[in-house]
Amino acid sequence: MKNIILVLFLILGISCKKDKIKDEVLEQSEYETVKLLGKKSNLNISILLDLSDRINPKLHPNNTMDIYKRDIGYIKSIAQTFEIHVRNKKTRRINDKIQLFIDPEPEEKELNKKIKDLKINFTRSNAKRNSILQTSKKYEKITESIYESAIKDNSYIGSDIWRFFKNKVEDYCVEDGYRNILIILTDGYMYHKNSKKRNGNRSSYLTHNFIKNNRISNVDIPIKDFGYISNVKDLSNLEILVLGINPYEGNLNDEEIIHSYFEKWFKEMNVKKFDTKNTDLPSNTEKIIRKFIFESK
């Protein structure tokens, strides 16, 4: 009788273990698997928001989807891609970061607190499944609050992308031992009242009127040396993805120049991997984001 009872317990134990293994496999199979990039498998992702009036739905209406809603969709995809990356790593190897920047920094304390909450660093000591899966939810909720507050208050901080690169990008977005990725959400025009500099045909800004008044064509950029003033010499350890380029009234000339300005600027800063993409629905842009983050340069 004792032997029968013992056999029954063994069968029950094996059955429970199989169920547990099955649950673990199911949990993993429900999440996308990706190939990590060896020694540089630690990610350091930074997101830079352009909070200028480009996100104003009344000033820049879009019948398909408002610009700010597209931004929120992009941000959610970035955070979800980060989640997938972290969950594909062995716990002891996890050391990954994601953060968000607005420049100039907001004066509002509550807004700064929200941004601080988006500075996340997963290590082997805190990388719990539920914590990882909260990343995209947190990013979506907080950025939605940031955008909606700006639109409701009609208060647009603006975006000083040029000065962010000049003074902050190396200190804030580049760390040794990581794949450093900066994703910029902008319509592609660059202007801030506190960073208006010009040196010949080089400038710290690019607007529709600047392009129009100077009659810039794409062929003028190399011949007449139009472009951004470059202050940073070596960003070889930073990869950059620009999303949301949206030229004034769909102007094709502006579109070409925006892309060419970024390309020339990034090359002069020795950025090895970069891409610039026009605005699109988040469902279409998700593939671009994942490909950029998951593929090596």
Residue 12 included in any domain: no
CATH of residue 74: 3.40.50
Reported confidence tier of residue 287, pLDDT bands at 50, 70, 90: very high
Higher pLDDT, 6 or 270: 270
Dmax over CA atoms of the chain, in Å, equals: 97
How many structural domains comprise the chain? 1
More confidently predicted of 98 and 10: 98
Q: 63-114 pLDDT, tens per residue?
A: 999 999 999 999 999 999 999 999 999 999 999 999 999 999 888 888 899 9
Q: pLDDT tens for residues 136-158?
A: 999 999 999 999 988 988 888 87
Tell me, yes or no, whether 17 lies in a domain. Answer: no
Residue 59 lies in a domain: yes
Amino acid found at 292? F
Short-list 159, 150, 124, CA closest to 42:
124
Look-up of token digits 């990725």: 181
Distance (Å, whole) CA 65 – CA 285: 13
Is 65 a domain residue? yes
pLDDT digits 0-9 by tens, 72-85: 999 999 999 999 99
pLDDT bin (cut points 50, 70, 90) of residue 14 is very low
Check whether 11 has a pLDDT greater than 80: no
What pLDDT score does 9 carry?
Answer: 46
295: confidence class by pLDDT, cuts 50, 70, 90: confident
Average pLDDT over residues 45-62: 94
Q: What is the mean pLDDT of residues 215-240?
A: 96
Q: Where are the beta strands (DSSP E) in the chain?
A: 43-49, 95-102, 120-123, 179-185, 198-199, 202-203, 227-228, 238-245, 273-278
Burial 210-238 (b: 16+ CB within 10 A, else e): bbeeeebeeeebeeeebbbbbebeebebb
The mean per-residue pLDDT over the stretch 37-63 comes to 88
Tokens 């968000």 sit at which residue? 100
Predicted confidence at residue 227, as pLDDT, reads 98
* Domain that residue 106 falls in: 38-193+232-294
Looking at the domain assignment, is residue 5 inside a domain?
no
Distance CA 121, CA 189 (A): 32
Crossing angle for the helix pair 67-87 and 135-152, to the nearest 10 degrees: 160
Query: What is residue 1's predicted lDDT score, i.e. its pLDDT?
Result: 52
In a domain, 206, yes or no: no
Range in 76-85, 126-135, 276-285 with the lowest mean pLDDT: 126-135
How sure is the predictor about 55, in pLDDT bands with cuts at 50, 70 and 90? very high
Residue 95 lies in a domain: yes
276 part of a folded domain: yes
Closest listed residue to residue 296, CA positions, set 225, 239, 212: 239
Mean of the per-residue pLDDT values for the chain?
A: 88
Structure tokens, 251 = 């102007």
Instruction: For residue 38, give Cα distances in angstroms to 34, 41, 93, 112, 140.
Output: 12, 5, 11, 35, 30
